[in-house]
Structure 1
């Protein structure tokens, strides 16, 4: 989650600062005033003149809070502290559309803290208060969680009820100072309405189970489905256990990290809930071959439960899946056409369904590698047909690398004249990249080709590719090449033998 960006025109700037045209001219001449911008592509239709400048509302709002003349127009939680503020007090808890909230009455008014890290929650909650027939009452600012930890405690996003459309970053320590006491905080998975709404100052920490999430529920439901064999059920159960353990361990770790003392600040946070330490993590199956075999069965199954959990597996256990990353290539590329000639039409499987959510009429499989593939039709924007497929984990046995073709991705032609997408490791990242401009990503392709030149049918690895990739091959692949560029085996071997730069 981050602070939402809002832009204001000159007219809106006058209204924000409470000045007339002449007063705005004086403000705009000040060296410390935020600069304007004309780069507002998402807002152009809202203005009569495309060349009219606009200002980042958050920057202006922050500036005003620190300026003597405009502080009363600026961000509430960024203004100068009141002198000798009276200790604040807890003012109750409320259910809101954005999530459970705790209120704190302070010398500057009531501060509402919504316990969510959803994007835009602070502005949405403040807007809801303003639009309520009863109005915001004495609530002057709404805070929501940023999802990270700052110097004084959990990072906050704030929106004032005076300007609910403008969000800004606020300090947890500032709210603690105004409230006169540490504030309660719940780990993400224990940020439950029933826990937040039941909390009171001095309430002992609640020790509770971590709720089961949708991902774990889907995996366990599939594991009970008799359509799957023993290996698949074991893999599904093991993955559900791993998800459960990760949630428990992650929740406990968050409570420990956020609950630590801050240098010079003591305990600005009350950890309101922790996972039960007596509920141990579920023992996990460690037979990797069994789990890989199980996920291979799931990927080949057409059942809706297989489709649902394979989507989850792409996030949770990609190393156990029988294919590399999802890859795209233009269907009109000559190298893709040569590869596609051997593809066989097949019935759809869960692996096909995970490739895309677009309508597809025909499903394919590569008979040499077993990789599922789809071809999308040209769309309404005149985009050409596209192949979507999984990269293989290895090349078939029986032939060596003969040449490499660069078109959309990296392709391998073997000495038996078969074309393959270059093999890669399992995962959700991009397939092998080439071309100039993106740091060391070409080291991945360089390291894969380095391995294929010596061991063409062995599964490749990308472990520490930035360290082990031959520098001359990386330099070659870091250049811009026209689509369809071919690099022969001899070129690759000669390049690999070239002394690195500086030698």
Structure 2
């Protein structure tokens, strides 16, 4: 069972049963997966039973289906004495749309290869989880496993990670899918988002900018440059069929959605598409990057973490690493959470952990001074001269 459903509710459904036995998702040391039972004729709550209790009462080992192998049709088909079934393990994510859209392209097309790779990764994970679930039984005493018959085992799947696609092929493939206008493409995008947040997309996560109250000059400047764009599958990344104006950031080509209440939802670039050096940053609702040629960008980010400020934690640490990189190369990829625990300039850490007021502008010179500062105290960051928009 995928949830801790009430045994009493099950008793109402199976009114002709003498007892209801439910497999729990947790395991007990030396006893295997936890099992609860409810005797219909006895007006007491459910109680814990052992696998040997079940085997003794029903006169045979109890059937066990490993995780990701609990196909209702196969379970209903099972009878005492049935041979162990070898079948494909099923992940909770349906990979069918991935294979279906891949069939719209030739097998060697980068989009087809991208979609099939993700499908293979998902089904392989299901196989691995089912196999590990069965291997858990090896850790238990022999008397436990003799009271169990394994009703199913997973069909072995090759490991797709041994021949992974290059990232540029994945990004090309997903770019193609994101530009489509059919619902099958939207389903594939939803699967990728649920699987890994869209790690293979040509952009990372999304940023929510609250409803405009007219006080943010930097937001107004950025919004004024957005252009209209026809709706396609990439807007599924911003929300499940949210209604609003479909826009595009002309500087990055990334989708932006403006909701009726003027809330802005925007895709975030993994790297900035410019060679103009960093001029300043603006901390206002989000982190903004200004370049020397006057362009304004939302700070780039990776799928597993964005930049924030004002406390000691992951977001400010990622921002410190991002600023360190952008000072040297404006087009460098944004850091991922892999940088956590690695060294960066103490002065930048102190600066990003400071609770700057919204509208604060920090210039390139001030960022370089923070990076070069020898002190690790917060006082250095607070003494930096800043201005508001």
TM-score (norm 1): 0.64
Per-residue CA distance 1:338-375 (angstroms, 9 max, x = gap): 11222111111211122113543421111221111111
Could you tell me how far apart the structure 2 residues matched to 1:409 and 1:263 are?
56
Q: Which residue in 2 is equivalent to 1:405?
A: 282
1:210 counterpart SS class: coil
Residues 64, 150 of structure 2: 8 Å contact kept: yes
Distance 1:157 1:299, change over 3 A: farther
Asked which structure has the greater RCO (Cα within 8 Å, sep 6+), the reply is: 2
1:466 counterpart SS class: coil
Residues 176, 183 of structure 1: 8 Å contact kept: yes
Asked whether 1:262 is paired with 2:140, we answer yes
Could you tell me how far apart the structure 2 residues matched to 1:290 and 1:242 are?
16
Residues 232, 297 of structure 1: 8 Å contact kept: yes
Q: Which residue in 1 is equivalent to 2:348?
A: 473
Q: Which residue in 2 is equivalent to 1:185?
A: 64
Q: How far 1:485 sits from its partner (Å)?
A: 2.2
Task: Report 1:326-365 matches (<5 A).
Answer: 326-332=206-212, 333-357=216-240, 359-365=242-248
Q: Which residue in 2 is equivalent to 1:154?
A: 33
2:204 counterpart SS class: coil
Residues 282, 362 of structure 2: 8 Å contact kept: yes
Q: How far 1:390 sits from its partner (Å)?
A: 1.0
Could you tell me how far apart the structure 2 residues matched to 1:203 and 1:419 are?
66
1:449 counterpart SS class: helix
TM-score (norm 2): 0.80
Q: Which runs of 5+ in 2 are unaligned?
A: 378-389
Asked whether 1:304 is paired with 2:183, we answer yes
Residues 102, 116 of structure 2: 8 Å contact kept: yes
Q: Which residue in 2 is equivalent to 1:275?
A: 154
Could you tell me how far apart the structure 2 residues matched to 1:159 and 1:501 are?
62
Q: Which residue in 2 is equivalent to 1:232?
A: 111
Q: Which residue in 2 is equivalent to 1:498?
A: 373
Residues 440, 466 of structure 1: 8 Å contact kept: no
Per-residue CA distance 1:471-493 (angstroms, 9 max, x = gap): 33223322323222222222222
Per-residue CA distance 1:306-342 (angstroms, 9 max, x = gap): 2221122223363321001111113523222211222
Asked whether 1:117 is paired with 2:8, we answer no
Residues 126, 142 of structure 1: 8 Å contact kept: no
Per-residue CA distance 1:205-246 (angstroms, 9 max, x = gap): 332233587631011111123699932223222222222222
1:364 counterpart SS class: strand
Residues 67, 129 of structure 2: 8 Å contact kept: no
Distance 1:218 1:454, change over 3 A: same
Q: Which residue in 2 is equivalent to 1:461?
A: 335
1:243 to 122, 138, 160: 122
User: Runs in 1 of length 4+ with deviation above 6 angstroms?
Assistant: 157-164
Could you tell me how far apart the structure 2 residues matched to 1:117 and 1:434 are?
39
Q: Which residue in 1 is equivalent to 2:381?
A: none
Asked whether 1:321 is paired with 2:201, we answer yes
Task: Report 1:23-102 matches (<5 A).
Answer: none
Could you tell me how far apart the structure 2 residues matched to 1:396 and 1:280 are?
38
2:358 counterpart SS class: coil
Q: Which runs of 5+ in 1 are unaligned?
A: 1-115, 379-384
2:269 counterpart SS class: coil
2:270 to 377, 393, 397: 393
Asked whether 1:443 is paired with 2:317, we answer yes
Q: Which residue in 2 is equivalent to 1:421?
A: 298
Could you tell me how far apart the structure 1 residues matched to 2:361 and 2:66 are?
53
1:143 counterpart SS class: strand
Could you tell me how far apart the structure 1 residues matched to 2:206 and 2:38 are?
40
Aligned pairs, number: 364
Distance 1:242 1:177, change over 3 A: closer
Could you tell me how far apart the structure 2 residues matched to 1:160 and 1:453 are?
69
